[in-house]
């Protein structure tokens, strides 16, 4: 019975994701790119500068902390195993389609994170709360419709990101340590719970402090090692990029993956890019809302950069490591004899031999998965708050996530994972409907930002009451003139 239900849910999720969701995600990204005049490209340099100067913290979390919380949720084991699967089935050309959807996804991420900022509220603990559930209710409104959409979204997010996905990540850690180092899953479960509990129970500020150093460390370490691989294989790099473009456009049949055909290459590249960077899924905006910034567009630009880091850097690093390996490790159209989870490990060992590779990949899997769990805790806690849960509910959630992390290391609960995948697909569709519905607010906020910059304002400050660009009135005290004056003073202090 359980196996049949799991298969049915998996088939349903596969159909929705592969035949409906992927096209909605692509269409939304393309639409927002056109309507914002490619904001992710024309303000890309500015987004880099904003991240570099975003460590100042006032009452809520800093924009950098919000950025790394979102990045921690985006960057997980899918950046390794998922990319390996994409280039195995779709061939080298899958990477090019990953880049394309990442660029489009940056516009989607910008839009949903900007909305999260516009419609956020201040919580009793001083940390802002916001995200899809909040902008559904406060933006769409219309009585029970907006509230109903928000409740459905929040419930699905708490179930998937609060309970199931931490189990997925911890299970990956347990299997990696067991296969590579002989560590029992029971020991891994206990250690993970010991490592997770103190941070989660300490609350959102502690999660932000840990991810603030953990996420940059893990990403930098992985990228540095891949850079070494590129350097030692520099003579093959031009050929690999030629294979990527030729494979994506089906110019050479020998570059097809095990699935074969240009459509398979396109589909696997786009699906991996879309589901890895999480743009449009509605998870990262929850973290984006926690930032205390002078203008909503500021955090929108910063969060869009997270998509770039996730796909254009980390996923690309994984793909290049595999494509630069010898034919004994990877050949398009030939499925490797080892599992997709160890393909990257074999590729690294092929380029830079040594036992260190096993330990390094264990470190990568552990930190990528662990940072994801920390990011998930913030997303889930914000939605518990939306559903009316107070401090006790938040504590109960953190305890449940700690237990789920331990259970995930012990058992692969296939039915629960299938249910979470269905919830993720449905909440993504619900979020994209809301983003498109409220895109007028995104465009109006961006026009306000652009207008201030054109008038010579170095750091635009957002004021909602009386704002001629906005399509309607925005209630609440977050974006009032008084609050704007305080933020303006803070900006001058930073300068």
In a domain, 478, yes or no: no
* Prediction pTM value: 0.89
Tell me 253's DSSP state.
G
In a domain, 361, yes or no: yes
* Short-list 173, 16, 102, 114, CA closest to 435: 114
The angle that helices 94-118 and 296-307 make with each other, rounded to 10 degrees, is 160
Q: Domain containing 295 — which CATH number?
A: 1.10.4160
Cβ contacts of 325 within 8 Å, gap of 6 or more: 346, 347, 350, 351
In a domain, 476, yes or no: no
In a domain, 465, yes or no: no
Q: Are 300 and 319 in contact (CB under 8 A)?
A: no
Cβ contacts of 401 within 8 Å, gap of 6 or more: 162, 163, 166, 196, 200, 373, 376, 377, 380
Pairwise CA distance, residues 406 & 71, whole Å: 23
Residues spanned by the domain of 169 = 6-455
In a domain, 1, yes or no: no
pLDDT in tens, the chain (495 residues): 567 777 787 777 777 777 788 888 889 999 999 999 999 999 999 998 888 777 555 566 777 888 888 777 777 667 777 777 777 777 788 888 888 888 999 999 999 999 999 999 988 777 888 999 999 999 997 778 889 999 999 998 998 888 888 888 888 888 878 877 788 888 888 888 888 888 888 777 888 788 888 888 888 888 888 888 888 888 888 888 888 888 777 766 666 656 655 666 666 666 666 666 778 888 889 988 988 888 999 999 999 988 888 888 888 888 888 888 878 777 776 666 655 557 777 788 877 777 777 788 788 888 888 888 888 888 888 999 998 877 888 888 888 888 888 888 887 667 766 777 777 788 888 999 999 999 999 999 999 999 999 998 888 899 988 889 999 888 878 888 777 766 666 655 544
In a domain, 482, yes or no: no
Pairwise CA distance, residues 312 & 101, whole Å: 10
Pairwise CA distance, residues 102 & 108, whole Å: 10
- Total domains, the chain: 1
In a domain, 341, yes or no: yes
Q: Are 434 and 132 in contact (CB under 8 A)?
A: yes
Question: Tokens for 479?
Answer: 């974006």
Question: Tokens for 439?
Answer: 């895109």
Rg (CA), the chain: 22
The secondary structure of the chain in percent helix, strand, coil, rounded to multiples of 5, reads: 75, 0, 25
Pairwise CA distance, residues 348 & 59, whole Å: 44
In a domain, 466, yes or no: no
């Amino acid at each position: 019975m359980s196996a049949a239900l799991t298969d049915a849910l998996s088939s349903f999720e596969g159909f929705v994701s592969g035949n409906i969701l992927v096209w909605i995600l692509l269409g939304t990204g393309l639409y927002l790119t056109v309507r914002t005049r490619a904001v992710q490209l024309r303000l890309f340099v500015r987004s880099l500068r904003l991240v570099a100067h975003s460590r100042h913290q006032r009452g809520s979390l800093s924009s950098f902390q919000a950025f790394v919380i979102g990045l921690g949720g985006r960057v997980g084991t899918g950046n390794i195993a998922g990319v390996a699967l994409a280039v195995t089935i779709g061939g080298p050309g899958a990477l090019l389609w990953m880049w394309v959807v990442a660029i489009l996804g940056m516009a989607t991420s910008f839009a949903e994170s900007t909305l999260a900022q516009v419609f956020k509220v201040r919580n009793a603990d001083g940390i802002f709360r916001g995200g899809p559930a909040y902008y559904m209710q406060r933006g769409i409104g219309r009585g029970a419709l907006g509230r109903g959409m928000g409740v459905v979204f929040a419930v699905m997010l708490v179930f998937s990101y609060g309970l199931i996905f931490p189990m997925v990540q911890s299970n990956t850690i347990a299997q990696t340590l067991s296969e590579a180092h002989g560590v029992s899953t029971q020991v891994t479960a206990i250690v993970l719970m010991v490592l997770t509990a103190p941070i989660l129970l300490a609350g959102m500020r502690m999660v932000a402090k840990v991810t603030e150093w953990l996420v940059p460390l893990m990403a930098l370490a992985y990228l540095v090692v891949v850079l070494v691989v590129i350097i030692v294989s520099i003579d093959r790099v031009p050929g690999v990029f030629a294979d990527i473009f030729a494979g994506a456009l089906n110019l050479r049949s020998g570059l097809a993956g095990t699935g074969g055909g240009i459509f398979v290459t396109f589909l696997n590249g786009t699906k991996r890019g879309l589901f890895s960077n999480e743009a449009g899924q509605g998870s990262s905006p929850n973290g984006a809302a926690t930032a205390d910034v002078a203008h909503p567009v500021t955090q929108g630009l910063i969060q869009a950069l997270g998509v770039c880091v996730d796909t254009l850097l980390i996923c690309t690093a994984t793909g290049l490591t595999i494509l630069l390996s010898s034919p004994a490790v990877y050949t398009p159209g030939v499925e490797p004899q080892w599992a997709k989870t160890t393909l990257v490990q074999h590729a690294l060992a092929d380029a830079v031999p040594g036992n260190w590779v096993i330990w390094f990949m264990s470190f990568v899997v552990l930190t990528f998965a662990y940072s994801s769990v920390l990011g998930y805790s913030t997303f889930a806690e914000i939605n518990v708050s939306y559903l009316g849960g107070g401090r006790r509910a938040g504590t109960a959630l953190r305890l449940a996530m700690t237990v789920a992390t331990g259970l995930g290391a012990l058992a692969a609960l296939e039915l629960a994972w299938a249910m979470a995948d269905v919830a993720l697909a449905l909440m993504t569709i619900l979020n994209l409907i809301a983003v498109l519905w409220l895109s007028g607010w995104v465009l109006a906020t961006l026009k306000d930002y652009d207008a201030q910059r054109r008038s010579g304002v170095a750091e635009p400050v957002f004021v909602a009451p009386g704002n001629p660009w906005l399509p309607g009135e925005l209630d609440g005290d977050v974006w009032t003139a008084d609050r704007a004056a305080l933020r303006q003073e803070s900006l001058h202090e930073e300068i």
